[in-house]
Structure 1
Amino acid sequence: MPKDNQVDSSRFIPVGIIRTKEQIDIQTNRRKVLLIEANAGAAKTTTLALRVGEALANGMAPECILILVFTETARDVMFRRLIEIGVHHTIVKQLKIQTFEDFSRDRLALIEDKGVASYPNIRQQFPPMLAAVDKAYVKYSESVENLQFSTNGLALTQYLDAQLKLKANMVLCEEFSIDDLSTVFERYGVTEAEFLVAVEYERIRLGLRNQPNFRGSFDSTYDLARDINRDPDRFSEFSDYRLVICDELHDLNEAAFRIVCALIDRPRCFFVGAGDCDQVIHATLGARHEYLSTRFKERFIETQRLPLTITHRYGSHLAFCMQAFKGKPVESNVADKLEIKVETYTGGLEEGAKCVVESIKKWERNGSGVDACAVLIRDRHHSVVIENALRAGGIGYRTPPMGSYLQREEILFLRGIMAIALRDFGAVKSKEVKESIVEALDLYGNLRIPPDELQAVKVGMAKHSQLHWFYEKYIQSKDETKAPTVLDSTIRFVIDASPDALAVDILRKVCDRMHLKRIAEKLYVRQYDASVVIRSIEGFLSIAGEQTLSQFWSDLSAAEQFAIKYRDKDVLTLDCVANSKGKEFDHVILPFVEVGEYPSPMFPLKDEENLFYVGATRAKLRLTLVTPLDGEKRSTFIKRMNITGTNAAANIAQTRNENIFRVTPASRHYLRSSYSDKDRLKALGARWDQTRKKWYVPIGMDLEAFAEWM
């Protein structure tokens, strides 16, 4: 029976879960637009699956249901969840469960005259982006002051990121004036150059007939939203969906919102979407909390909101702390207790990293697997000391999708200088890393090798390991009457350095001579991105310790081999908090929860609160907060969790959960039968469950007559 003995009017009865009253209210709701305001771990996907099951149980055809998600992973989770709660797999296969991008691509194919080339790889988009930079330079460099355009790989990537952000917000559909350029960074978070390049890129992509020549990531969603914006009647050609479901609604952006609105506008369509306003973070493409809080209500007056407050991921102790931290109701029905550990350290980041390793070893000593553990860092600059400490502790780790510090441009540049000076490019075993080192030398050394030539050089260097040839051809000064370039003189300095000189001293002088801080600020136009690079370099210098340059070079090679050897299985996850949404781990460690990190002064406080909330709520059994012993350096977020003050109430709630939720109540009794048994079963009073494709005995009916099928 449902929790709290409430009246259950639902027709779909799931297996394997005990529904809460909140879930049943959502499952049986018939409002045209229903928004579910859910807490982290509150079974958003399961609850949406219940709503689908209810529609099917009431006779809705599977082809009339559309389920939209933002990632392929979310699509697969929804597919599995529907089967897990009891919807027959043949019916689940008939449902349309798609990402916004796949749905948009299918819809556009119905109305376009020709196929459109797909550019899923970011490298495929570099040539048109280069052409866009050239056009923007010719058209605007004289009329707009202080414009700076770059054509290296990093700059092209940043241009592509900027145009994605503008598309997600549907900015490029609007008319613009040169006079408005001064406000684009404040309004959209992109520079004037990035905005103008995005405009030219779209002109190239769309061509003369305004039908795209190619599409990259997110372009299908944007193009469909753009078509709807230009001609809403075109959408009438699409299928009528009776029920549209959308998961992770906190990731909604303007383009996706316009598509959803067009679907809801169909006369017989009902919409149910679930999200958590507190999971909108600054790393999300175009996502804003306004969609859940106001936009739907402004667009559809009949919009109703229902809460999903009870988490099924973590226990009462974290639930009460998150309630205190976010100032919103959070409950838990988890019987397993979640421990919150606050581990402290004195000294610098290296000591904090050692504290992380000790927390992992404590977890292992208790008999728990390291593969169920995740270290979620604020940003990638912290991974240098963390990775080094994990290796020293013999703890294997994986770093998807963040990547190891050894593969970042700023570190690859320093590794390239060391390889040239020591004439030991062969120590780098990976072909991809060799190519990346060459690219980093071009980027940070400002060599400006033409893209086609650079690609050929990268391939050749990766194959033959002739980095000194690269130095002589592209870096070494040819004219002895002129002073060598900064990069050349820096490499010569390293070559001439004493074999016994400390690596940290040499590399720090390399950074000073190259003005790496200034280069980072020039390459990364956003202050925070540049600060991450600078702090990453500082972390790299700090792990050199007392080693000479050759010793440190050998140590880096060993570090890379360690990372490769231990990244497949039975290893922990090391990643940025921003990449962890939708995931969960038995043990989550949040390092460096300190002033300047949580919250960062470079972002709005609301975004910082959400980032911390996302990280903390990934935990299922243990949350470890690693923070300075000095109270003045400790993040105020820990105090706001009120760990001690909520402990007594959490203990009471935890005991309640242990006593109640471990017991599975009686439900329908499903029968093992064949098609030939249907008439007998029906005569005896059994009923047919359409969604599960099974006969069952209703609750309260005598089971004796059905013994042969039990």
Structure 2
Amino acid sequence: MLVPSKEQVDIINAVAPRILIEANAGSAKTTTAAMRIQKLVERGVDPGKIVALAYSTPGVSAYAGAFHRIGMPDSVSSKVRVGTVDALCATRLKRVEAPVQDGVRAQPVKSFERAVQVRPYVLQAVQRAREVSQERFANDFSIQGTGALSVEHLLEEFAVLKGTLAVPRYGEDFRCTPAVAAELGTDYTPLAVFLQYERDRTGFVNPEGEQVKFRYPGDATYDMARWLLSENAPWSWDRHPLSLGIEAIVLDEMHDCGWAIFTVIRALLECNPGATFLGVGDRDQVIHAKNGADAYFLGPNLSRELGEIATFPLTVTRRFGPSIARPLGVFANKAYNVHTDHTSNAVLRLADSSKANADLIVQLIQQHQVDPNTLGNDFAVLLRHPGAAVGIEHELLLKGMTYQTVGFRPFLQRPEIAFVRMLLAIAVDHQSKFIAPALLEAKQAVWEFMGSNLSVPDAQDATDAIISSATEDNFRQFVFPDLLGAADQETQHAIHAALEIAATNDASKIKEFMDALDFNRIGQKIYVTQADFEEVRYALDSIGKVASQYSSMDAFLAAMNMFDHTLRKPSAAHRQLRLSTIEDAKGLEFRIVFIPDCNRKTFDSTSQDERNLFYVAASRAKELLVMGHDQGAESSYLKHFAH
């Protein structure tokens, strides 16, 4: 049984109906929420009338672990209604959207979990948005191809627009213009595509009323919030889907709370007037650019929205010891107390190249005796920019180490790198072949980057057939020349020049090849935002450095094909090192965390989001935090750890 700290005791015993816990990372916030739930049950609250919510699936799993740690009986914990806010909204909307009529239940809304499932709808929205933009804003619409390589980027932009309720909250004066997009903190292109996508997803242009076709993660919360803000919600107050007869609402991960989630929480409290509220979050973990999270809800403004809030601190870290807690507290400018029996270590290490980073990773694994069977859970490499992973991935493969990427694709599956590999293979007439999935990715990438129109995937037309069925030899000899001949003159000139350089088979000329390819011009027509494009440039610069290490273009291509085969083997799924974006590590913890490239160019902005990203990364470590940097180029963030 855990012995609660004084801070936890104050929270557990509080009688205020509205409570906000301002928690530090690693301070057992979910465990504290679980203790509060247990106290409510002891006071007579029916556990079946307690709703325990989180933003993410790991957050939901954390409740189960916390209930177990505090010794809550299964007979009690099994009754608590635990889930994500999105899952709650999806369940409650079913009552409205799929009613029983004449003994028959209406067809339920489809639920999609993977980007590939909604890809056809996104591509269709790109085409429609381009058509709509032609008359007034053609020059502001940045995607000149089909958008096939921008689907994931667009979905990330959609998540921000939905999380912030940007369009519904703008009001009746909303117009899709570049000026309005700037007001909303986005670019015109994703906003225009978003509107077309939503028209298709919800069918609200149907004169008979809205009928949702499908939902992607986050859509149920967005749809519920839109209805809550609407005067035409498809329910009456006495049959409100959020009237659950509940007595307590607990919301963990409030640092991921945006306007969509908050609108649902506020409605839950209004529809269940006797319910108490407990919110738990850390304002230094708010990443505004991710899913529309907003620090507004972790300060005094929350009282304006929900009435008087009793605020309690949770500063005692139970995840790591003073060598991490104290400098992290100074960095975040807040109190950070330490659980006395916990030890940890934070060190700075010179690692000024991909090889040095990979060497350090292997060294840490060996020195700290990380079990290969638990490697993915014990050790994490957290990256500020996924493009920075390219060189590290290559060096790890040279060492025979496999890995999993979280939040981004492995470097050999990145479209821009697949494009480069195919061009080089054509130039030198490389003899070893792409494996089947890599070949399809390379053909699609070439088709997109050269400006041809790849059809919406569910349309069985000639373009789709060519991409799917062309063998590698056929694609090189016939399809590619046809594509090149149909491209605009600038693209033709750039690719001819690049192929001529690559044909020398001299790997030392890879930079010349990249310069001739003029990806600055080609890429700007493909990607949604400048940030997306810069990430791609980062990856291409990295793959150029990798290629220059080989004796020839042929040798480079042969190695990439071999590595591709290694990474995609089913056996590679075991004993994998975790390479993750920082955003996708939120809510998780690892015995050892390595943050490479803690340099001025990577981590040195005064932007609160960037500072919060570093805070999130550094606070994931339980025993050892290692921060790598270049000689004389270290981030100012590291000064707090320098001693």
* TM-score of the pair, normalised by structure 2: 0.88
Please show how residues 91-240 of structure 1 align to structure 2 within 5 Å.
91-112=76-97, 113=99, 114=106, 115-144=108-137, 146-148=139-141, 149-150=143-144, 151-173=146-168, 174-175=170-171, 177=173, 181-207=177-203, 208=206, 209-231=209-231, 234=237, 236-237=240-241, 238-240=243-245
Matched, 1:251 2:256: yes
For residues 478 and 296 of structure 1, the distance between their equivalents in structure 2, rounded to whole angstroms, comes to 57
CA contact (8 A) 2:177 2:188 kept: yes
Deviation at 1:116, TM superposition (A): 2.1
Letter in 1 for 2:582: V
For residues 124 and 570 of structure 1, the distance between their equivalents in structure 2, rounded to whole angstroms, comes to 29
Query: Of 589, 594, 597, which aligns to 1:584?
Result: 589
Structure 2 SS opposite 1:523: coil
Please show how residues 482-631 of structure 1 align to structure 2 within 5 Å.
486=491, 490=495, 494=499, 501-505=505-509, 507-544=510-547, 545-564=549-568, 567-600=572-605, 605-630=607-632
For residues 324 and 252 of structure 1, the distance between their equivalents in structure 2, rounded to whole angstroms, comes to 25
Residues 409/40 of structure 1: CA separation in 2 closer, same or farther (3 Å cut):
same
Larger RCO (alpha carbons 8 Å, 6+ apart):
2
Match of 2:395 in 1: 389
CA contact (8 A) 2:317 2:336 kept: yes
Letter in 2 for 1:610: N
For residues 483 and 261 of structure 2, the distance between their equivalents in structure 1, rounded to whole angstroms, comes to 55
For residues 492 and 139 of structure 1, the distance between their equivalents in structure 2, rounded to whole angstroms, comes to 36
CA contact (8 A) 1:421 1:491 kept: no
Residues 497/380 of structure 1: CA separation in 2 closer, same or farther (3 Å cut):
closer
Cα deviations across residues 27-71 of structure 1 (Å, max 9, x unaligned)? 222212111111111111111111111112222212201111122
CA contact (8 A) 1:425 1:467 kept: no
CA contact (8 A) 1:132 1:198 kept: yes
CA contact (8 A) 2:593 2:625 kept: yes
Deviation at 1:73, TM superposition (A): 2.4
CA contact (8 A) 1:355 1:626 kept: yes
Letter in 1 for 2:612: N
Match of 1:70 in 2: 55
Structure 2 SS opposite 1:427: coil
Residues 336/217 of structure 1: CA separation in 2 closer, same or farther (3 Å cut):
closer
Match of 1:428 in 2: 434
Letter in 1 for 2:214: F
Residues 121/290 of structure 1: CA separation in 2 closer, same or farther (3 Å cut):
same
Residues 268/164 of structure 1: CA separation in 2 closer, same or farther (3 Å cut):
same
Deviation at 1:374, TM superposition (A): 1.7
For residues 199 and 285 of structure 2, the distance between their equivalents in structure 1, rounded to whole angstroms, comes to 34
For residues 483 and 8 of structure 2, the distance between their equivalents in structure 1, rounded to whole angstroms, comes to 74
Cα deviations across residues 243-263 of structure 1 (Å, max 9, x unaligned)? 111111100011110000011
For residues 290 and 308 of structure 1, the distance between their equivalents in structure 2, rounded to whole angstroms, comes to 19
Residues 337/481 of structure 1: CA separation in 2 closer, same or farther (3 Å cut):
closer
* TM-score of the pair, normalised by structure 1: 0.80
Please show how residues 76-91 of structure 1 align to structure 2 within 5 Å.
76-91=61-76
Match of 1:663 in 2: none
For residues 379 and 349 of structure 1, the distance between their equivalents in structure 2, rounded to whole angstroms, comes to 15
Residues 498/203 of structure 1: CA separation in 2 closer, same or farther (3 Å cut):
closer
Residues 309/104 of structure 1: CA separation in 2 closer, same or farther (3 Å cut):
same
Structure 2 SS opposite 1:86: coil
Deviation at 1:552, TM superposition (A): 0.7
Structure 1 SS opposite 2:438: helix
For residues 99 and 435 of structure 1, the distance between their equivalents in structure 2, rounded to whole angstroms, comes to 36
Match of 1:456 in 2: 465
Residues 401/158 of structure 1: CA separation in 2 closer, same or farther (3 Å cut):
closer
CA contact (8 A) 1:377 1:574 kept: yes
For residues 210 and 307 of structure 2, the distance between their equivalents in structure 1, rounded to whole angstroms, comes to 35
Letter in 2 for 1:503: A
For residues 123 and 263 of structure 2, the distance between their equivalents in structure 1, rounded to whole angstroms, comes to 30
Q: How many residues align?
A: 612
Residues 419/588 of structure 1: CA separation in 2 closer, same or farther (3 Å cut):
same
Structure 2 runs not aligned, ≥5 long? 100-105
CA contact (8 A) 2:160 2:290 kept: no
Residues 564/469 of structure 1: CA separation in 2 closer, same or farther (3 Å cut):
closer
Deviation at 1:229, TM superposition (A): 1.3
For residues 213 and 332 of structure 2, the distance between their equivalents in structure 1, rounded to whole angstroms, comes to 46
Deviation at 1:154, TM superposition (A): 2.3
Cα deviations across residues 549-570 of structure 1 (Å, max 9, x unaligned)? 1111111123334434674333
CA contact (8 A) 2:498 2:514 kept: no
Match of 2:102 in 1: none
Deviation at 1:459, TM superposition (A): 3.4
Cα deviations across residues 340-386 of structure 1 (Å, max 9, x unaligned)? 221125xx534xx4145235414513434461222212111111121
Match of 1:706 in 2: none
Q: CA RMSD in A?
A: 2.8
Structure 1 stretches of 4+ with a deviation exceeding 6 A read 478-485
Residues 568/479 of structure 1: CA separation in 2 closer, same or farther (3 Å cut):
closer
Structure 2 SS opposite 1:399: strand
CA contact (8 A) 2:387 2:539 kept: yes
CA contact (8 A) 1:324 1:642 kept: no
Structure 1 runs not aligned, ≥5 long? 1-14, 645-710
Deviation at 1:414, TM superposition (A): 0.8
Match of 1:288 in 2: 294
CA contact (8 A) 2:54 2:60 kept: yes
Letter in 1 for 2:507: A
Residues 96/34 of structure 1: CA separation in 2 closer, same or farther (3 Å cut):
same
Residues 241/515 of structure 1: CA separation in 2 closer, same or farther (3 Å cut):
same
Residues 512/89 of structure 1: CA separation in 2 closer, same or farther (3 Å cut):
same
Select the structure of larger CA radius of gyration: 1
For residues 487 and 93 of structure 2, the distance between their equivalents in structure 1, rounded to whole angstroms, comes to 59
Query: Of 316, 320, 331, which aligns to 1:310?
Result: 316
Match of 1:297 in 2: 303
Match of 1:357 in 2: 359
Match of 2:346 in 1: 340
For residues 526 and 502 of structure 2, the distance between their equivalents in structure 1, rounded to whole angstroms, comes to 29
CA contact (8 A) 1:584 1:618 kept: yes
For residues 219 and 357 of structure 2, the distance between their equivalents in structure 1, rounded to whole angstroms, comes to 44
Query: Of 376, 379, 385, which aligns to 2:382?
Result: 376
Structure 1 SS opposite 2:600: coil
Match of 2:103 in 1: none
For residues 311 and 253 of structure 2, the distance between their equivalents in structure 1, rounded to whole angstroms, comes to 15
Residues 143/332 of structure 1: CA separation in 2 closer, same or farther (3 Å cut):
same
Residues 124/377 of structure 1: CA separation in 2 closer, same or farther (3 Å cut):
closer
For residues 28 and 481 of structure 1, the distance between their equivalents in structure 2, rounded to whole angstroms, comes to 73
For residues 11 and 487 of structure 2, the distance between their equivalents in structure 1, rounded to whole angstroms, comes to 76
For residues 305 and 395 of structure 1, the distance between their equivalents in structure 2, rounded to whole angstroms, comes to 47
